Amino acid sequence: MNPSPFRASVLSAHTTDLPPGSPPTFSGPAPTAQLRWLPRLWYNTAYWAMWTAFTLAYSFRRRGWHHLPRTGPVLIIANHQSMLDPILVGLAARRYLSFLARHTLFQQPLLAPLIRSLNAIPIDRSLGKEGIQTVLHALEEGHAVVMFPEGERSHTGQVQPLKPGVSLLIRRVRCPIVPVGIAGAFAAWNRFRRWPRLAPLFAPPTDATLAVSVGPPLDPCRYLDMPRAEMLEELRQAIIQQVALAERLRRK
């Protein structure tokens, strides 16, 4: 099946396929948002440390990373099962990402410096006017911004309805929207577990093995005049489709 004109233009302009098994070669945002060398070194170090840890501890797998534009602004929308989710999305990308994080996390003395150093952006869970402006500003600077439009971790592992405020943001976005699905994270460390469960690579597989699927970019223009409920459900289904692909990819 041939890609849509929008998808074809995005992929030809921003992506380069790598042979299977090739390590990611990071690309930064647009020139106005380039990271300095020290933050880049720290991000790369954290990336490879987490890549090794999650491969060994959770049999981590990923697919579809070529769908994510290598440069320019991108809005990444993913399901939210666990505290592990930002790390998993980051491991599935070949570029530096910025993450939306609940503003209360920045009030924790030990956690705040860490998430700031990894490009986290404080935002209110309801995604109000100020939060929307924060996201748009980051996109204008050329960042790839990760958000979890459910607004909180799932109570069941299933993709919950998206927050209504998401529709206000989507109508103002003029960059590719990339759906991402995470599988296994709910079993590994859901909101009801105090400590995470491991699923080591060299042990028999469990329901806590992890996988991420990155879907093809969506054209934001199609949502300009779409009714809010229809828009939110279509975006939710796009995420659900990637969750199903990630579930099939998990080591079982």
Three-state DSSP class for residue 115: helix
Q: What's residue 13's pLDDT?
A: 41
Domain count, the chain: 1
Which residue matches tokens 């993913």?
Answer: 78
Q: What's residue 122's pLDDT?
A: 83
Asked if the structure places residue 12 within a domain, the reply is no
Examine the pLDDT at 30 and tell me if it is beyond 80.
no
Asked if the structure places residue 107 within a domain, the reply is yes
pLDDT tens-digit readout, 108-118: 887 777 778 88
pLDDT tens-digit readout, 132-146: 898 999 999 999 999
Q: What's residue 121's pLDDT?
A: 83
pLDDT tens-digit readout, 199-215: 999 999 999 999 999 99
Contact (Cβ atoms closer than 8 angstroms) between residue 212 and residue 88: yes
Residue 173 structural domain: 41-249
Q: What's residue 8's pLDDT?
A: 47
Asked if the structure places residue 3 within a domain, the reply is no
Q: How far apart are CA 227 and CA 13, in angstroms?
A: 30
Asked if the structure places residue 4 within a domain, the reply is no
Across the chain, what does the average pLDDT equal? Answer: 87
Q: What is the CATH number of the domain that holds 93?
A: 3.40.1130.10
Query: By CB neighbour count within 10 A (0-12 exposed, 13-18 middle, 19+ buried), where does 175 fall?
Result: buried
Three-state DSSP class for residue 218: strand
Asked if the structure places residue 236 within a domain, the reply is yes
Q: What is the dihedral of CA 185, 223, 234, 131, to 10 degrees?
A: 30
Asked if the structure places residue 85 within a domain, the reply is yes
